[in-house]
Amino acid sequence: MAPKKILVLQHVAYEILGTLDPLLKANRFRIRYVNFGREPDSKPEVDSYSALVVLGGPMNVDQITSYPFLKTEIDVICRALELKIPILGICLGAQLLAKALGARVRRNRVKEIGWYEINLTPEGKSDPLLSHFKENEKLFQWHSDTFEIPEGATRLAYSKTCDNQAFVYDNRAYGFQFHLESDEPMILRWLHVTQHKEELEDAKEYVFPDQIRRITHSNARSQCKLAKKIFQEFINKTINDE
């Protein structure tokens, strides 16, 4: 049997699959990255792929004039939705998924940078992916914008400072605002990214990098265990949907 293929849309070099990468490889997926930061004119087609993953990035979904590839990505997402291909959108990827489904993406009332407590809705508690959550989980975040829940989608999770943290559409397209894919080395690298340093400076009244560093070691271990369970469920869904 031919190996399954997964298409990954990437925006910047430091936003990667993280903890999802070894699981995909262990399940014998062939991974094709399209890095729009390096290939902004790329026109990927999703038709021959088993799943689509759209990663995070520093831009927002309405910056199409500055980043025309965002329109390309929305078209790819729409095609995947049409073909009923499983989709996982992370942070910016979740916002692009929401926009492709006709929902509004807007500025969140605060920037969430660091570790935040995530709670599930009743629907989230029964969802096959997020049912692995405890009553609440501390997960890593780095975003300024947020999405509204698309029409026909189900809201799965929220936090005190962001009403919409996760949704699912058609039981196969998931949007996660949080960075479940991030591990400790990845998070520590993000604190040194030039553009991130500028964001940290803007939010210095309530975001403290030293505090993030201190708590990341213990929190990241717990997050990685949870990520393995949730991402494996997504992989199982992809395999079983074929």
Burial of 33 (0-12, 13-18, 19+ CB in 10 A): middle
Looking at the structure of the chain, the number of domains it has is: 1
**Active-site annotation, residues:** 91, 179, 181
Could you tell me the pTM of the whole model? 0.95
pLDDT (0 to 100) of residue 202: 77
Q: Could you read off the pLDDT of 170-195 as tens digits, one per residue?
A: 999 999 999 999 999 999 999 988 88
CA pair distance 190, 196, nearest whole angstrom: 7
Amino acid at 165: Q
- Which domain covers residue 61, as residue numbers? 4-240
Query: Which comes out higher in pLDDT, residue 64 or 199?
Result: 64
Nearest CA to 166 among 182, 144, 150?
150
Cβ-contact 98, 147 below 8 angstroms: yes
- Where residue 161 sits, what CATH number does that domain have? 3.40.50.880
Print burial letters for 72-84: b (CB count within 10 Å at least 16), e (below 16).
bbbebbebbbeee
What's the whole-number mean pLDDT along residues 118-124? 96
Predicted pLDDT of residue 2: 67
